[in-house]
Structure 1
């Protein structure tokens, strides 16, 4: 796991405050795909528990794993008491116990590529479901996006994480679906989109940016400078395109 992947603990409270949660439609999508009751679930990279709260409900025992202690402490303040929490990176999770569902929300790209799918399959019961959820949060107004990009340019070319396997954005099947299909370990690979549009204040949007790893990697002074520049071009409120892209697959 990279240093960038472990940078979020310093902003755990901001992450909880400014990152959007997950809608009920996501739970329905995953459980409908499963085609039957899910009794046990393992969450990889749970962060502050945004997705944990969606899946932790009566009849579904959730184990939430997260490598950063500050993020895990924030998670424990917000999730039901019955959620089992484990401080561990995906690569360090012990094998042996298997789950009906393994899900990852906005964290799969931080896991190590080597052996990723073999380990994922080993954590799933035969026929178990893997769900990966992600998707960028982007400014909906092209003019505002251009202004923010220009303000950011002296500091960062982009604040997004590129596709881990280089899949171009115009391809119908995006990562990680591309790798899941090639792995031979999973079947019935699907890609589904849940439309999501948000309207937030400029201050809230800046708070969201403060939880993005690209900015967290900047020296403190440069981070302050780029946020000042971005604040200067934002209208009082901004619309965000924040569609959720879910990749679903079943262990062979």
Structure 2
């Protein structure tokens, strides 16, 4: 696992404060796709539990895994009793108990691509469901987005994470669906989009950016400088597009 992937623990409280949660539509979509009751699930890279508490609210006993103890400590402050936590990276999970649902929320891109899908399949019951969800927050105003890009350019060329398999951002099937379609372990691959809009104060938007790995990897002084420059070009409040792209697939067998 890369150092960038392990950079979040030092700002676990900020991650919890500034990252948006997930809507009920996500759980409804996953449950409808499963087509049968889902009572247990395994979560990959749970972070502070934004998706954990969503599925827990829907009656799912979640086993939430994350390699970072600080993130898990924050998660435990916010989840109900039907959540079990395990400190482990995806690559360290060993087949044993299997689940009707394994999911990852804004975390799958941090996993090792070697044997990713055979490992995932080994954690699922035959016919079980894998779900992945993610989507960056982007300023709705193109001119404002360009102003922010120019403000951060001396510090960060690009704050996005490209698709691990090189799938273009305008491809009809986005990653990880592109990998799932090629996998011998999964079928019925589906891609859905849940529209999401978020309105934040400029300072809360800067707080959100401070939890993005591209900014976290900067030295403290430079991170403060770039966030200060971004604040200078922002109005008092900003509207953000945070559409969630959901990928669903069923384990063969």
Look up the match of 2:195. 195
Look up the match of 1:21. 21
Look up the match of 1:12. 12
User: C-alpha displacement at 1:57, in angstroms?
Assistant: 3.6
User: C-alpha displacement at 1:94, in angstroms?
Assistant: 1.8
User: C-alpha displacement at 1:58, in angstroms?
Assistant: 6.4
Q: Indicate the SS of the match to 1:5.
A: coil
Look up the match of 2:242. 242
Q: Indicate the SS of the match to 1:4.
A: coil
Look up the match of 1:164. 164
What is the 5 A alignment of 1:60-139?
A: 60-139=60-139
Q: Write the distance in 2 (CA, Å) between the matches of 1:182 and 1:212.
A: 30
Look up the match of 2:147. 147
Q: Write the distance in 1 (CA, Å) between the matches of 2:118 and 2:62.
A: 21
Please provide the CA RMSD for this pair.
0.8
Q: Write the distance in 2 (CA, Å) between the matches of 1:219 and 1:69.
A: 22
Q: Write the distance in 1 (CA, Å) between the matches of 2:189 and 2:17.
A: 33
Q: Write the distance in 2 (CA, Å) between the matches of 1:88 and 1:235.
A: 41
Q: Indicate the SS of the match to 2:28.
A: helix
Deviation per residue, 1:153-203 (Å, 9 max, x gap): 001111111111111111100000000010111000000000001111001
Number of residue pairs aligned between Structure 1 and Structure 2: 252
Look up the match of 2:216. 216
User: C-alpha displacement at 1:79, in angstroms?
Assistant: 0.2
Q: Write the distance in 1 (CA, Å) between the matches of 2:168 and 2:217.
A: 25
Look up the match of 1:233. 233
User: C-alpha displacement at 1:242, in angstroms?
Assistant: 0.1
Look up the match of 2:205. 205
User: C-alpha displacement at 1:26, in angstroms?
Assistant: 0.3
User: C-alpha displacement at 1:82, in angstroms?
Assistant: 2.1
Deviation per residue, 1:46-81 (Å, 9 max, x gap): 000000000014642210001100000000000002
- Provide the TM-score with structure 1 as the length reference: 0.99
Contact 2:12 2:71 in 1 (8 A): yes
Contact 2:60 2:82 in 1 (8 A): no
User: C-alpha displacement at 1:209, in angstroms?
Assistant: 0.4
Q: Which runs of 5+ in 1 are unaligned?
A: none
Q: Write the distance in 2 (CA, Å) between the matches of 1:46 and 1:58.
A: 17
Q: Which runs of 5+ in 2 are unaligned?
A: none
Distance 1:71 1:144, change over 3 A: same
Contact 2:27 2:58 in 1 (8 A): no
Deviation per residue, 1:219-252 (Å, 9 max, x gap): 1111111011101101000000000000000000
User: C-alpha displacement at 1:114, in angstroms?
Assistant: 0.5
Q: Write the distance in 2 (CA, Å) between the matches of 1:100 and 1:170.
A: 31
